[in-house]
Amino acid sequence: MIISETQKTEFKTKGWTSVNFTQDTKFLKTCINSIAKIKKKIILGDWKYSRLYHDYFGEKNIAAIELPFHEEIIDTNLKELFKKIDLGKAVCELMGWNKTYCSLARIFTMNNKRYHGHWHRDENYLSNTIEPNIVQVGIFLNDQIGFKILKKEYDKFGLSSIVDPDIEELIINFPRKSPLITLQTDDRYYYQIKALKGSVLFFDPRMLHAGCSNSERNDYHMRFHNGSSDTFKLMKQNSFQDFMVTQNLSSNFDYTSSPNEVKIMNIATNSFFNRILKSTNYYMPIKNLKHYIFLKKKFPNSKTKKWYLSKFSNTIFQKLR
């Protein structure tokens, strides 16, 4: 995977760029099949490290697979994926680093249910003049439209900012106030990424962003850092990757003896009754509307300003924009 000067400039000016790494759809399909096998292991209880955001009736709507490089679940196809793309080299070339390590990796695997996450930052945004010391990466195995990144000129240090201190605080605290309803803003304020299968998205995680999809997902979500020589002494190296990883992301990580290092969410299924309620609300969003009425009283337009409540988030009526 080659990083061009145009892509370097785009990352600096926009805060994100996208790079194609293959057009081999047959190989990508084998990787998707490999991920499907991991999902089956999770459903059968043979791998417990995963996430479940919205538990609907029927097949488990597994949101993400954790510890994706572990030897118990990764196969030769997925190892070959990382051998092909030289991801560490690409990250260093884009960011101007000598070495890099990965501190977070999961595979997002939502089923064909509409999903919208909350707007958030994964790193403090203290200044728009300081170069990021961290970058997040999405590796897309199928086409996906929806991921949103607020444009720099409208973020909190932008000349036309729509994020004042009150809005920043609201965005940070909103997930605790509403598990279903999300905040939204006019689509002219953000980029909506149209990720093509066989592409890699690089973006600055300090910028406000939100996950959003209306279809099945099969994409790696990863976080890379620059670091000191002392930091790299603590890292591990997987044989199929050209970057280093934290202890818990090594292929032979002993998760049974290191529970404190596994800061992830084990899969949990809601009760039969709650799954029925969740599924009913997905198609007849009565709960969403109740939350919307309550939140609208608490957060009128005078408080949300350029932002508004998206009443149909995480239902069949959700729109991408």
Cβ-count burial 17-26 (b if 16+ within 10 Å, e if not): bbbebbeeee
Confidence at residue 264, expressed as pLDDT on a 0 to 100 scale: 53
Confidence at residue 131, expressed as pLDDT on a 0 to 100 scale: 85
Confidence at residue 126, expressed as pLDDT on a 0 to 100 scale: 74
Above pLDDT 70, what percent of the chain? Answer: 96
Distance CA 107, CA 121 (A): 19
Confidence at residue 262, expressed as pLDDT on a 0 to 100 scale: 54
Spell out, as residue ranges, where the chain has pLDDT lower than 50: none
Q: What angle do CA 101, 211, 188 make, to 5 degrees?
A: 115
DSSP state of 260: G
What is the pLDDT of the chain when averaged over all its residues? 90
Confidence at residue 287, expressed as pLDDT on a 0 to 100 scale: 93
Confidence at residue 57, expressed as pLDDT on a 0 to 100 scale: 77
Cβ(304)–Cβ(170) under 8 Å?
yes
Confidence at residue 36, expressed as pLDDT on a 0 to 100 scale: 95
Confidence at residue 75, expressed as pLDDT on a 0 to 100 scale: 96
Confidence at residue 164, expressed as pLDDT on a 0 to 100 scale: 92
Q: Which amino acid is at 154?
A: Y
Distance CA 220, CA 242 (A): 16
Confidence at residue 76, expressed as pLDDT on a 0 to 100 scale: 97
In the chain the domains, ranked by start, together with CATH numbers, are: 5-310 (2.60.120.620)
Three-state DSSP at 216 gives coil
Three-state DSSP at 13 gives helix
Confidence at residue 261, expressed as pLDDT on a 0 to 100 scale: 53
What is the DSSP pairing of strand 50-51 with strand 16-20? unpaired
- The position carrying tokens 């047959």 is 26
Cβ(177)–Cβ(292) under 8 Å?
no
The token pair that represents 172 in the structure block: 């940070």
Confidence at residue 270, expressed as pLDDT on a 0 to 100 scale: 65
Q: How far is CA 156 from CA 203, 206, 300, in A?
A: 17, 11, 21
Distance CA 268, CA 271 (A): 10
Tell me the per-residue pLDDT of 142-179, one tens digit each, with 9 for 90 and over. Answer: 999 999 999 999 999 999 999 999 999 999 888 877 88
Confidence at residue 258, expressed as pLDDT on a 0 to 100 scale: 63
Q: Which amino acid is at 81?
A: L
Confidence at residue 97, expressed as pLDDT on a 0 to 100 scale: 94
Q: What is the DSSP string of 163-204?
A: --HHHHHHHHHHHHH-SS-EEEE-GGGEEEEEEPTTEEEEE-
**Beta-carbon count within 10 A of 271 CB:** 9
Q: What angle do CA 123, 249, 198 make, to 5 degrees?
A: 75
